[in-house]
Each structure stands twice: as structure tokens, then as C-alpha cells.
């Protein structure tokens, strides 16, 4: 029996997630969106790729939450981008309203699902989802650190000339340029400490480029933002849950005392399995990194305070 995943929001990222998940062969996907015809059209197009790719998964496009019933995982990508003249608070509350409605509708149909939050501002939207669903902290997970860590690893691989597969580095903290914390102290390349494998100026350049990774792509595209890497990062989390992989990944979790942080979502290393978050780790980090992670938590608390 195939697993079932609902993706709320059938934009470029949601559609790419649907493609990657369907092509695993063991996941049926529901693309849910309020725009009539759009999720149905994308689902039909993806289904028609099956004969070439060789998958038999069912891909459903829907505007009706009833079709999402019994999902094992719900991924929320819904929201609007910031428009010219729009304040941060206005964007925050528009997206909070959207995510609140989506989470409330989704939990009614899939009360046992694990929720993965992609919508921005991601850290704050995790709180909206947690409150709207009433789920335990183990079943609401933020995606941000996964994407930021992938960018960090990519840049470190390019600068060091090593395979990206041998670069082990994570980004913790928040999911904004100001709050993400690319970790240097515990990062390695093939088991060699990062500080021994690369000169400091190159490491610093990778840290800065990681923090600006999303903006760099937006500037190049002119319209729109990244979707390939965000989709791949999210799908890795989905598979960790569905296959009970026990993966240790950098994701946002509602902290319970880690680094002295409580009751706020912040990026930390955590173990993902069938029930969602199974364990949260507090690795030994440099003092400035711990301070920055705490600062990220404080920034998210400030955002939450602006939600109406």
C-alpha cells in the first residue's frame, strides 16, 4: 500500500515536490490549491509522465480538502510573496491567515499526519500551524535548515574542490539572512575539520554566500524564487518520516530547553522517523554560534508577537 502525501500549494515548489515524491513509486500525492484548475492541470501533466519515468503512483489535483483525507504527511507551501510597498507585518499576517486556514482544514481530514512547514516566514508559520492543529511538537517541523544547509554544503564543496557528498555542514538558527547560523565549528570535509581543510577567508565567503543564497537566486531569476533545491530538501524530510529512516537533519523544532531556548521554533539537529521528531540534539558549538542561535529564537519570538 502506497503512502499518501498532501502538498498544500501547487506553485513551482509544490509541483516539483509532487514530481519528486511521485517518482519514488511508493507515494500517492495530492496537490491541493485554491486556484481552480491549476492543481488538476499539474497533476494530469505529472501523471502523464508516468509511462516514461516508470511510476504508478496516483497524483490528484484538488480544490477540495476531502481528497486529502488520510494523508500520512502534509506539506504546507501556501502563502504569498512580499509585494512592493508591503510591510513585513502585513506579509506576516496575510500568510499567517492563509497557513492557519490550510492547517485547520488539513488536520480535520488527516488527524494523524506529520506536518512539514515550508511557507514563509517559515519559523513563525510553524507556530501558526502548531496552534491551529493542536498537534504535539513532534509532528510539526520546519524545513528551513534543510535548504540553507544544502546551499552551505554546495558552496563549501565548490570552494574546497571536494565532492559535495563528503561535505558535512549544517545551518541552524532561523531561516532568514539575518538569523541563519552556518555552523563552522563542527563542520567537516571527509572527516577533516573545516578549519583545517579550507582557509578562513574562503570559509567566511561561503558563510556570507549561504546567508544570501535565496536573494542571489531571486536576483538572477528576476521573477520568482528557488524551487528545485527547496523541493529536494523537503522531499528528503518526507521520506525520512515515511520510511522511518531515523535521519538526523537540521530542521526547525519547537525547542524545549536546547541552548536555553524554550517554546519557540528554531533550527536544530533532530532525528526524523515515522512519528516525526524523535530526538532533538544540542551539539557542542562555538560560543558565538550558540549566541547567534539564541538571537534567531528571539527574532522569531518578536515575529510571533506581531501575528494578529
Q: Which three cell numbers stand for residue 227?
A: 524551487
pTM comes to: 0.96
Contacts of 142 (CB under 8 A, 6+ apart): 116, 117, 122, 123, 125, 126, 175, 251, 252, 253, 265, 267
Q: Look up residue 25 and give its three cell numbers.
A: 513509486
Residue 295, C-beta contacts closer than 8 angstroms, at least 6 positions apart: 173, 179
Q: What is the pLDDT of residue 297?
A: 98
What are the boundaries of each domain within the chain? 3-144, 145-304
Q: Specify the CATH architecture of the domain 145-304.
A: Alpha-Beta Complex (3.90)
Per-residue confidence (pLDDT) for residue 81, from 0 to 100: 76
Q: 11 to each of 7, 32, 70, 146, 224, how far by Cα in Å? A: 10, 10, 23, 20, 10
| Cβ-based neighbours of 83, under 8 Å, separated by 6 or more | none
The CA-to-CA distance between both ends of the chain, in Å, stands at 42
- Nearest-10 crossing angle of helices 228-242, 144-160: 120
Cα separation, 113 vs 7, in Å, equals 12
Let me know: does 17 contact 77? Beta carbons within 8 Å: yes
Please give the angle made by the CA atoms of 107, 64 and 31, to the nearest 5 degrees: 80
Distance (Å, whole) CA 299 – CA 179? 8
Q: The domain 3-144: what is its CATH number? A: 3.40.50.720
Joined grid coordinates for residue 113: 499526519
Three-class secondary structure assignment of the chain:
CCEEEEEECCCHHHHHHHHHHHCCCCEEEEEECCCCCHHHHHHHHHHCCHHHHCCCCCEEEECCHHHHCCCCEEEECCCCCCCCCCCHHHHHHHHHHHHHHHHHHHHHHCCCCEEEECCCCHHHHHHHHHHHHCCCHHHEEECHHHHHHHHHHHHHHHHHCCCHHHEECCEEECCCCCCEEECCCCCEECCEEHHHHCCHHHHHHHHHHHHCHHHHHHHHHCCCCCCHHHHHHHHHHHHHHHCCCCEEEEEEEEEECHHHCEEEEEEEEEEEECCEEEEECCCCCCHHHHHHHHHHHHHHHHHHCCCC
- Provide the annotated active-site residues: 175
From the first residue on, what is the mean pLDDT of each consecutive set of 10 residues in the chain (308 residues)?
Answer: 96 97 97 97 97 96 98 95 71 94 98 96 96 98 96 98 98 95 98 98 98 93 92 98 98 98 98 97 98 97 93
Q: How far apart are CA 148 and CA 161, in angstroms?
A: 20
Q: What angle do CA 28, 268, 259 make, to 5 degrees?
A: 155
- Closest by CA position to 16, among listed 193, 229, 185: 229
Question: In the prediction, which pLDDT does 216 show?
Answer: 93
- State the pLDDT at residue 1: 84
Amino acid at each position: 500500500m502506497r503512502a499518501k502525501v498532501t502538498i498544500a500549494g501547487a506553485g513551482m515548489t509544490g509541483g516539483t515536490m509532487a514530481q519528486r515524491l511521485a517518482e519514488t513509486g511508493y507515494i500517492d500525492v495530492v496537490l491541493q490549491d485554491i486556484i481552480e484548475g491549476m492543481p488538476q492541470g499539474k497533476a494530469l501533466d505529472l501523471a502523464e509522465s508516468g509511462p516514461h519515468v516508470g511510476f504508478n503512483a496516483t497524483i490528484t489535483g484538488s480544490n477540495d480538502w476531502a481528497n486529502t483525507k488520510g494523508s500520512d504527511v502534509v506539506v504546507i507551501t501556501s502563502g504569498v510573496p512580499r509585494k512592493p510597498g508591503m510591510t513585513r507585518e502585513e506579509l506576516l499576517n496575510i500568510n499567517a491567515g492563509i497557513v492557519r486556514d490550510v492547517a485547520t482544514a488539513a488536520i480535520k481530514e488527516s488527524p494523524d499526519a506529520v506536518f512539514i512547514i515550508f511557507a514563509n516566514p517559515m519559523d513563525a508559520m510553524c507556530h501558526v500551524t502548531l496552534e491551529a492543529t493542536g498537534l504535539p511538537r513532534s509532528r510539526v517541523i520546519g524545513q528551513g535548515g534543510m535548504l540553507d544547509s544544502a546551499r552551505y554544503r554546495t558552496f563549501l564543496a565548490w570552494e574546497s574542490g571536494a565532492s559535495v557528498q563528503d561535505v558535512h555542514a549544517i545551518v541552524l538558527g532561523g531561516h532568514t539572512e539575518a538569523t541563519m547560523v552556518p555552523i563552522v565549528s563542527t563542520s567537516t570535509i571527509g572527516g577533516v575539520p573545516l578549519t583545517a581543510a579550507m582557509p578562513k577567508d574562503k570559509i567566511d565567503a561561503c558563510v556570507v554566500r549561504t546567508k544570501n543564497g535565496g536573494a542571489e537566486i531571486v536576483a538572477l531569476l528576476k521573477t520568482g524564487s528557488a524551487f528545485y533545491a527547496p523541493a529536494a530538501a523537503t522531499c528528503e524530510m518526507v521520506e525520512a518520516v515515511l520510511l522511518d529512516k531515523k535521519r538526523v537533519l537540521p530542521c526547525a523544532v519547537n525547542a524545549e530547553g536546547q541552548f536555553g531556548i524554550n517554546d519557540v521554533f528554531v533550527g536544530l539537529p533532530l532525528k526524523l522517523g515515522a512519528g516525526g521528531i524523535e530526538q532533538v540534539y544540542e551539539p557542542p558549538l562555538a560560543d558565538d554560534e550558540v549566541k547567534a542561535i539564541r538571537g534567531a529564537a528571539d527574532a522569531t519570538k518578536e515575529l510571533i508577537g506581531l501575528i494578529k
